[in-house]
Chains A and B, each alone.
Chain A
Amino acid sequence: MGTSSTRLEHDPVMLCLSSGKGGVGKTSLAVNLAVALVELGQKVLIVDGDLGLANVDILLGIEVQTTIRDILDNDSDPLTAVVSWEPNLGVLPSSSGVPEMVNLGPEDQVLLEEVLRSIARHFDYVIMDTAAGIGPSVLWFNSFVEHNLVVLAPDPTSLTDAYALIKVLARDYKRQRFHLLLNLVTDEKESLQTYNGLAKVAAKFLNLQLHYLGSVPRDPAVHKAIHHQNPFVRQFPQSRAAKAVQELAKRLVDLGHAGTS
């Protein structure tokens, strides 16, 4: 079940969605952003980097035929590991072995990066959905994308964990350009207030300028859509959350390759 492609290969925009703290709606945002980007005419790949929970697999009810290990061992076509959810939306599920391989040695990581890049070339946007926390796989995914998107909710633990993630990535991996994406906010005021708090600390202690990508409000439509096993941008396209995600997708398209750290 591979994603067929006739378009010319090119460099995709690679994004990584991480959060520090779990439970801030990161996977839901990754899937909905991907769908919103598809609706803007982009061809998108979601890489599920969370072996522990394998959320994307469950959310989309998919089963993997070819793993990354098969590709490395048997020279299989890398695209055969990608599950095509719809014509312009591919998923590289965690059961394909991507996050598992990240925890292996440096040699395997180099091979994995080569495979991921060869798959990615068939898409316009690649969204890496990482596990929560600052484990090795989270840091690895973040270390080679162009844009590091940090998802946080307006609560103290989420803020602290997001800051810890940014600090490690900036200090140990020399990442410089972070985009903050606030989820589960009451309104834009609360979102900006949270962003400003974090941005000031990052500027003072890490000498970093954090970028504000936008926010998604707390919306009952999100919860309802999960029960329908359908992304909320599809199930309830007129909901506040869907409109916010559509706006974020537009900003991502504007962002493109610009501002690579």
Chain B
Amino acid sequence: MTETQVPLASTPCPAGLDDCPVQAENDHLQHECHRLLKQLQIDPLTNWYNVSYLFSALEQEMERSRRTGIATGLIMIDLDHFKQINDTFGHEAGNQVLGWVCRLWREKLRRIDIACRYGGEEFAVILPSTRLGHSIRTAERLRAIVESSPVPIGGQSIHITASFGVDVCSPLEQITANEFVQRADQFLLQAKSLGRNQVAHPARKPSREPTEISSAERAMLFVGRWPKME
């Protein structure tokens, strides 16, 4: 989860009663609503947002991009050879690894980044208002930190790595959140097929379309007709 849970402040009774039963019931219902909302949005194992929150938040950020003109970044992550951890150390240890890695990564993300568990050992991080270059650097930072931080499990240190697929949705693209996730997921597959423990992403484009003048244009601009220079 992106923020620590803060108890909801109790609102004072409008009639000014110190021991108002209606107000107490109201406070209780508010807390209950908050708890249920959290349950709907948060994956309890990792404390990251769940997959349904991922899609609603992603739709919102893509819409924001269309308004602000700044791209939305998306990182898809998969822990490498996670099945081996489960098989060797048991599912409880596997769960501990997931929780541990998510805490580690959360510290490396900005407060505005939206970290979600996509399912199993796969994760998605939405990077609001973030261009491709910065999105790639963020993924690379997450890759490096997990590679260099052995997970302490049952008195042992387990070395784990992860693969990353990065993509951005530009403000002009009319695609759905689902299509965007699929696209970033293709880069994740590419990272895995290239040997894992790496970041795959679309080719970096120059910040604007190349405007170079071809050699033929240049030659014609200058050849034989240039007036006397001062």
User: Which positions in A face B, CB cutoff 8 Å?
Assistant: 104-107, 134, 154-156, 159-160, 163-164, 167-168, 171-172, 186, 190, 193-194, 196-198, 200-201, 204-205
> Are A168 and B211 in contact (CB-based, < 8 A)?
yes
Q: Let me know if B111 is at the binding interface, CB within 8 A.
A: no
> Are B216 and A105 in contact (CB-based, < 8 A)?
no
Show 12 residue pairs from A and B whose CB-CB distance is below 8 angstroms, ordered by the A residue. Answer: A104-B68, A105-B68, A155-B229, A160-B221, A168-B209, A171-B209, A190-B227, A193-B227, A194-B227, A197-B225, A201-B217, A205-B220
A200 to B220 Cα, complex, angstroms: 8
B212 to chain A, nearest CB (A): 8
Which of A163, A171, A186, A198 has the most chain B CB atoms closer than 10 A to its own CB?
Answer: A163
> Are A201 and B227 in contact (CB-based, < 8 A)?
no
A107 to B225 Cα, complex, angstroms: 46
> Are A106 and B221 in contact (CB-based, < 8 A)?
no
A249 to chain B, nearest CB (A): 26
Give B202-230 interface residues, CB cut-off 8 Å to A: 208-209, 211, 213-214, 216-218, 220-222, 225-230
A190 to chain B, nearest CB (A): 5
Residue of B nearest to A192 (CB): B227
> Are B222 and A164 in contact (CB-based, < 8 A)?
no
A154 to B70 Cα, complex, angstroms: 39
Q: Is the interface of B mostly helix, strand, loop or mixed?
A: loop
Query: CB-CB < 8 A to A134: which residues of B?
Result: 208, 211
Query: CB-CB < 8 A to B208: which residues of A?
Result: 134
Query: CB-CB < 8 A to A156: which residues of B?
Result: 221-222, 226, 229
> Are B213 and A167 in contact (CB-based, < 8 A)?
yes
A58 to chain B, nearest CB (A): 28
A88 to B222 Cα, complex, angstroms: 43
Query: CB-CB < 8 A to B226: which residues of A?
Result: 156, 197
**Which of B213, B229, B230 is in CB contact (< 8 Å) with A164?**
B213
Q: Let me know if B99 is at the binding interface, CB within 8 A.
A: no
Contact with A along B48-73 (1 / 0, CB 8 A): 00000000000000000011111000
Q: Is the interface of A mostly helix, strand, loop or mixed?
A: helix
Kindly list the 5 A-B residue pairs having the minimum CB-CB distance in the complex, ordered from nearest. Answer: A105-B69, A105-B68, A201-B220, A190-B227, A106-B69
Residue of B nearest to A154 (CB): B227
Residue of A nearest to B69 (CB): A105
B130 to chain A, nearest CB (A): 14
> Are A160 and B213 in contact (CB-based, < 8 A)?
yes
A198 to B220 Cα, complex, angstroms: 9
> Are B211 and A164 in contact (CB-based, < 8 A)?
yes
B168 to chain A, nearest CB (A): 15
**Which of B68, B211, B220 is in CB contact (< 8 Å) with A107?**
B68
> Are B171 and A105 in contact (CB-based, < 8 A)?
yes
> Are A198 and B221 in contact (CB-based, < 8 A)?
yes
A105 to B221 Cα, complex, angstroms: 36
Name 6 extra pairs, CB < 8 A, besides A104-B68, A105-B69, A106-B69.
A134-B208, A134-B211, A163-B213, A167-B211, A197-B225, A201-B221
A41 to chain B, nearest CB (A): 37
Query: CB-CB < 8 A to A186: which residues of B?
Result: 230
Query: CB-CB < 8 A to B68: which residues of A?
Result: 104-105, 107
Query: CB-CB < 8 A to A190: which residues of B?
Result: 227-228
A201 to B226 Cα, complex, angstroms: 13
Query: CB-CB < 8 A to A106: which residues of B?
Result: 66-67, 69, 171
Contacts known (A156-B226, A163-B213); A204 close to B220, Cβ less than 8 A: yes
**Which of B70, B211, B217, B222 is in CB contact (< 8 Å) with A105?**
B70
Query: CB-CB < 8 A to A107: which residues of B?
Result: 67-69
B106 to chain A, nearest CB (A): 29
> Are A163 and B209 in contact (CB-based, < 8 A)?
no
A154 to B230 Cα, complex, angstroms: 10
